[in-house]
């Protein structure tokens, strides 16, 4: 993190959103977190500005994207309720993907968000879900 204020601005959303993701279980939390970190980080590394990108906000945006998209893909009442709550409380986060100042890594925000949505798609479950990778002999 670039400063103590930077740490503070990420801590509460990290704990709240990460805690909600963690309700799916510790292994899911670790797997989803690692996916967001690696996929989001790769996006920043490949397509971001040549600058220093620091902080946990990419992971925070990833959790946000995961929770909202999980409500869409999972379609279970609790997942939908969690998605609505996250949108109501943290919906203004989406403005963080808009380039504003040179001191904010909007790229980390954007690619973290996209990685979270992709993580939700790849880990979806439910009646209407099909596996991300079809199994051999599957009938569609």
- How far apart are alpha carbons 10 and 54 in whole angstroms? 11
For residue 89, what are the domain limits? 4-122
20 within domain boundaries: yes
User: Which is higher by pLDDT, 122 or 6?
Assistant: 122
Mean pLDDT of 117-124: 95
89 within domain boundaries: yes
63 within domain boundaries: yes
Give one DSSP letter per residue of 78-131, joined into a string: HHHHHHHHHHHHHGGGGGGGS---TTS-HHHHHHHHHHHHHHHHHT--STT---
134 within domain boundaries: no
What interhelical angle do 57-74 and 26-47 show, nearest 10?
120
What's the pLDDT tens digit per position in 90-99? 999 888 888 8
Structural domains of the chain, count: 1
Here the CATH number for the domain that contains residue 26 is: 1.20.1540.10
73 within domain boundaries: yes
37 within domain boundaries: yes
What's the pLDDT tens digit per position in 13-65? 999 999 999 999 999 999 999 999 999 999 999 887 888 787 789 999 999 99
83 within domain boundaries: yes
31 within domain boundaries: yes
Residue 10 backbone dihedrals phi, psi, to 5 degrees = -95, -25
């Amino acid at each position: 993190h670039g400063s103590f204020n930077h740490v503070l601005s990420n801590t509460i959303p990290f704990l709240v959103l990460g805690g909600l993701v963690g309700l799916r279980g510790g292994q899911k939390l670790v797997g989803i977190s690692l996916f967001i970190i690696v996929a989001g980080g790769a996006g920043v590394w490949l397509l971001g500005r040549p600058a220093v990108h620091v902080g946990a906000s990419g992971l925070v945006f990833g959790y946000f994207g995961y929770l909202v998209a999980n409500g869409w893909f999972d379609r279970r009442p609790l997942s939908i309720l969690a998605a609505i709550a996250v949108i109501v409380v943290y919906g203004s986060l989406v403005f963080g993907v808009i380039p504003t100042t040179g001191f904010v890594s909007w790229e980390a925000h954007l690619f973290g968000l996209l990685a979270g949505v992709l993580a939700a798609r790849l880990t979806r479950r439910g009646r209407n879900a099909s596996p991300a990778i079809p199994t051999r002999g599957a009938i569609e």
